[in-house]
């Protein structure tokens, strides 16, 4: 079937499927309904520009490739089979044969739940099976056209804006302001580890980088270029590559480390060795402090990856929130947004957020990592941390259908948690609604104050 035939298929009215963990009735249902009307701010996404998304073929295996396939890998799917599943040119039946045994094991995890909710609510398919596969793929292909993002993210998900980190863009790039706000990582400028890496930064910066001072100048110009495009926060995922302990390093010591990089004194290790050993840590420590100083000067919040890493295997202890403590003291006017509530170090993150005025906790990614843990931790946090510093939702997906599904799960978790607190007489239903609005919208609107005012 060619693409034109697929587009000619009637999409049909999307059905509300039997999505996992549908809310019970009564108070929880009332809160769910009220919270569904809140236009949420999504604190973290990686959604592809719509023109790129609709230009490529998309099917259920494409959607499964973001996170769900990681759980299939964890269940035992080997890398060669995964490559076939992710190859749009491979035969659908062959891809399904490799996918199905591990999907049976992984469909109940949070990632599996999100995929099932997206397929049920948006594409009207309650169960992914060999008999539903072709019809489902035809519906996904038919919907893959301009307007999809407005339909899924604005109309269905009822989002006001998504803070989007387009880490794959080599330079700061404008986003569609009707849906997105720009967040950007500058980690390449913070942590070069080869002479060739510095060369790539030179071509991006448009000038020679022969010293730490040059590197700082290039970093500052990158931040300013992003600000001109509407940057609302700085992001870092350095915890994927090294620990979050950033010592205060003098420019002289950083320069010595930079000189060793330029001589390629210690070639990067292969595979996990590259993460295990960081011979130029002093340079990156110095540069990260410089980045936070730029955030301070421009009044930009800093979003920090803490906790569990995406993908299949990393040094989870590299992402402990407590390693950042010196920064919280050193930069009291910078707001630090601790991603993923630091899970599995959420207790550390909670104690930090309780005691430091400048630290917030962010549930981005967390409701799909484990909806049940997210729900339990939210109940603990409402009891422990002032509610004005908790962000209740960030999708952290590449495909908007899954961001929608994640938000369904987040709204359910928030409604269930607040309903339980109302039943325990902690606060009234009216107050629960105010807290729900704070978690889904008001806290992010206050902290990310470069966002356009609501209603625009």
132 versus 237: smaller Cβ distance to Zn ion: 237
362 versus 442: smaller Cβ distance to Zn ion: 362
Q: How far is the CB of 396 from Zn ion (least distance, A)?
A: 4
Q: How far is the CB of 44 from Zn ion (least distance, A)?
A: 6
Question: Mask of contacts with Zn ion, 38-77, x by CB under 5 A?
Answer: ----------------------------------------
Q: How far is the CB of 216 from Zn ion (least distance, A)?
A: 26
Q: Distance between CA atoms of 158 and 169, rounded to whole angstroms?
A: 27
Q: Distance between CA atoms of 400 and 123, rounded to whole angstroms?
A: 13
Which segment (139-147, 192-200, 393-401, 444-452) binds Zn ion by CB under 5 A? 393-401
Residue nearest to Zn ion (CB): 396
31 versus 304: smaller Cβ distance to Zn ion: 304
Q: How many CB atoms lie within 10 A of CB 18?
A: 11
Q: Give the helix ranges, DSSP H, for 44-109.
A: 50-55, 60-65, 68-75, 79-85, 92-106
Q: Distance between CA atoms of 337 and 239, rounded to whole angstroms?
A: 14
Q: Distance between CA atoms of 210 and 188, rounded to whole angstroms?
A: 16
Give how far Cα 258 sits from Cα of 278, 283, 291, Å. 13, 6, 16
Q: How many CB atoms lie within 10 A of CB 74?
A: 15
Q: How far is the CB of 108 from Zn ion (least distance, A)?
A: 23
59 versus 396: smaller Cβ distance to Zn ion: 396
The rounded Cα 86 to chain-centroid distance in angstroms is: 21
Q: How far is the CB of 448 from Zn ion (least distance, A)?
A: 16
70 versus 396: smaller Cβ distance to Zn ion: 396
Which segment (49-57, 117-125, 323-331, 392-400) binds Zn ion by CB under 5 A? 392-400
Which segment (57-65, 354-362, 391-399, 414-422) binds Zn ion by CB under 5 A? 391-399
Q: How far is the CB of 292 from Zn ion (least distance, A)?
A: 19
CA dihedral 226, 228, 232, 236 (to 10 degrees): 10
Which segment (55-63, 99-107, 396-404, 417-425) binds Zn ion by CB under 5 A? 396-404
Q: What angle do CA 149, 3, 120 make, to 5 degrees?
A: 50
Q: How far is the CB of 81 from Zn ion (least distance, A)?
A: 26
HSE-CB at 440 with a 13 A cutoff on CA atoms is: 30
28 versus 396: smaller Cβ distance to Zn ion: 396
95 versus 305: smaller Cβ distance to Zn ion: 305
Q: Which of 187, 396, 401, 442 binds Zn ion (CB under 5 A)?
A: 396
Q: Which residues contact 352 (CB under 8 A, 6 or more apart)?
A: 321, 322, 324, 325, 328, 338, 359
Q: How far is the CB of 162 from Zn ion (least distance, A)?
A: 12
Q: Distance between CA atoms of 22 and 24, rounded to whole angstroms?
A: 7
Q: Which two tokens stand for residue 225?
A: 């270029």
By CB under 5 A, the residues from 104 to 143 that bind Zn ion are none
28 binds Zn ion (CB under 5 A): no
Q: Which two tokens stand for residue 272?
A: 């996990």
Which segment (72-80, 131-139, 195-203, 394-402) binds Zn ion by CB under 5 A? 394-402
342 versus 436: smaller Cβ distance to Zn ion: 342
Q: How far is the CB of 46 from Zn ion (least distance, A)?
A: 6
328 versus 397: smaller Cβ distance to Zn ion: 397
Which segment (156-164, 171-179, 395-403, 415-423) binds Zn ion by CB under 5 A? 395-403
Q: How far is the CB of 397 from Zn ion (least distance, A)?
A: 9
Q: Are 402 and 66 in contact (CB under 8 A)?
A: yes
103 versus 448: smaller Cβ distance to Zn ion: 448
Long-range contacts of 109-112 (CB under 8 A, 24+ apart): 109/71, 109/370, 110/367, 110/368, 110/369, 110/370, 110/371, 110/409, 111/67, 111/68, 111/70, 111/71, 111/368, 112/68, 112/71
How many positions of this chain bind Zn ion (CB under 5 A)?
1
For residue 420, which phi and psi values (nearest 5 degrees)? -65, -35
Q: How far is the CB of 365 from Zn ion (least distance, A)?
A: 6
Which segment (89-97, 328-336, 354-362, 389-397) binds Zn ion by CB under 5 A? 389-397
- What H or E segment, with its residue span, contains residue 232? strand 231-236
Give how far Cα 449 sits from Cα of 63, 335, 452, 453, Å. 32, 11, 8, 9
223 versus 364: smaller Cβ distance to Zn ion: 364
Residue ranges binding Zn ion (CB under 5 A): 396
């Amino acid at each position: 079937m060619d693409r034109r035939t697929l587009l000619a298929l009637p999409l049909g009215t999307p059905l509300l499927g039997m999505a996992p963990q549908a809310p019970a009735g009564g108070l929880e249902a009332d809160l769910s309904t009220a919270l569904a009307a809140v236009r949420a701010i999504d604190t973290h996404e990686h959604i592809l520009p719509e023109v790129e998304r609709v230009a490529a073929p998309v099917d259920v295996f494409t959607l499964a490739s973001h996170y769900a396939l990681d759980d299939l890998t964890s269940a035992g799917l080997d890398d060669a089979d995964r490559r076939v599943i992710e190859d749009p040119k491979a035969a659908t039946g062959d891809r399904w044969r490799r996918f199905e045994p591990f999907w049976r094991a992984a469909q109940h995890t949070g990632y599996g739940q999100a995929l099932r909710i997206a397929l049920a609510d948006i594409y009207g398919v309650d169960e992914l099976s060999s008999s539903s596969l072709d019809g489902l793929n035809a519906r996904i292909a038919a919907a893959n056209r301009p307007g999809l993002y407005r339909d899924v993210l604005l109309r269905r998900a009822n989002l006001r804006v998504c803070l989007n980190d387009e880490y794959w863009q080599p330079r700061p790039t404008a986003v569609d302001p009707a849906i997105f706000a720009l967040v950007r990582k500058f980690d390449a400028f913070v942590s070069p580890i080869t002479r060739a890496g510095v060369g790539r930064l030179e071509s991006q910066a448009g000038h020679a980088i022969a010293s730490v001072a040059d590197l700082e100048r290039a970093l500052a110009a990158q931040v300013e270029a992003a600000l001109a495009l509407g940057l609302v926060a700085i992001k870092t995922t350095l915890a994927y590559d090294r620990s979050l302990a950033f010592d205060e390093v003098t420019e002289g010591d950083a320069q010595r480390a930079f000189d060793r990089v330029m001589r390629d004194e210690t070639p990067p290790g292969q595979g996990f060795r590259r993460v295990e050993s960081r011979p130029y840590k002093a340079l990156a420590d110095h540069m990260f402090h410089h980045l936070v100083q730029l955030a301070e000067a421009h009044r930009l919040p800093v979003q920090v990856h803490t906790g569990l890493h995406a993908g299949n295997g990393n040094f989870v202890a590299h992402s402990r929130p407590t390693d950042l403590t010196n920064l919280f003291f050193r930069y009291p006017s910078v707001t630090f947004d601790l991603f993923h509530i630091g899970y599995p170090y959420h207790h550390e993150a909670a104690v930090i957020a309780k005691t430091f005025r400048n630290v917030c906790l962010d549930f981005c990614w967390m409701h799909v990592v484990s909806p049940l843990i997210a729900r339990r931790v939210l109940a603990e946090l409402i009891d422990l941390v002032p509610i004005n510093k908790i962000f209740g939702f960030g999708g952290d997906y590449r495909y908007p259908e899954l961001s929608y599904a994640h938000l369904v799960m987040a709204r359910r978790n928030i409604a269930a948690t607040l309903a339980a607190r109302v039943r325990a007489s902690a606060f009234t239903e009216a107050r629960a609604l105010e807290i729900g609005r704070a978690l889904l919208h008001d806290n992010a609107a206050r902290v990310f104050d470069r966002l356009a005012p609501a209603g625009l």
